[in-house]
Amino acid sequence: MTDNRFGITIESVCENIHKDFAKDFKYALVWGRIAKFSPQTCGLAHQLIDEDVIQIFVSTNKKFAQPKPMTADEKAAIQKAKAKVIQAKKDKKKK
């Protein structure tokens, strides 16, 4: 029987957890028989063996995408909604 886990790297683990983990990867801490000291700081190419424990750190300081500009229809719908609110307030004051 062959071990299908041979050649598993931290990068492959990151990709299996979430596609953005490998992209935003900073470093990983590894505990286990293969680590020279526990915990050992490792990169994406580090090979893992059975029973290794890893902790993955990813970057969270991403620039968020700018919101897309509103279309003319969206702007008109907002103006219409604002006008309804203003009219409702005026009607309420009259009563």
Query: How high is the pLDDT of residue 20?
Result: 86
In this structure, the number of other CB atoms found within 10 A of the CB of residue 16 comes to 11
CATH homologous superfamily of 10-58? Beta-grasp domain (3.10.20.30)
Per-residue pLDDT tens digits for 9-48 = 999 999 999 988 888 899 999 998 877 888 999 999 999 8
In the block, tokens 């957890």 appear at: 17
Query: How high is the pLDDT of residue 2?
Result: 46
Whole-model pTM: value is 0.57
Residue 76: φ, ψ to 5°: -65, -40
Coil vs helix vs strand at 88: helix
Per-residue pLDDT tens digits for 73-95 = 988 998 999 998 888 888 887 76
User: Which residues have CB under 8 Å from 56's CB, separation 6+?
Assistant: 10, 13, 14, 17, 21, 25, 28
44 contacts 10 by C-beta, under 8 angstroms: yes
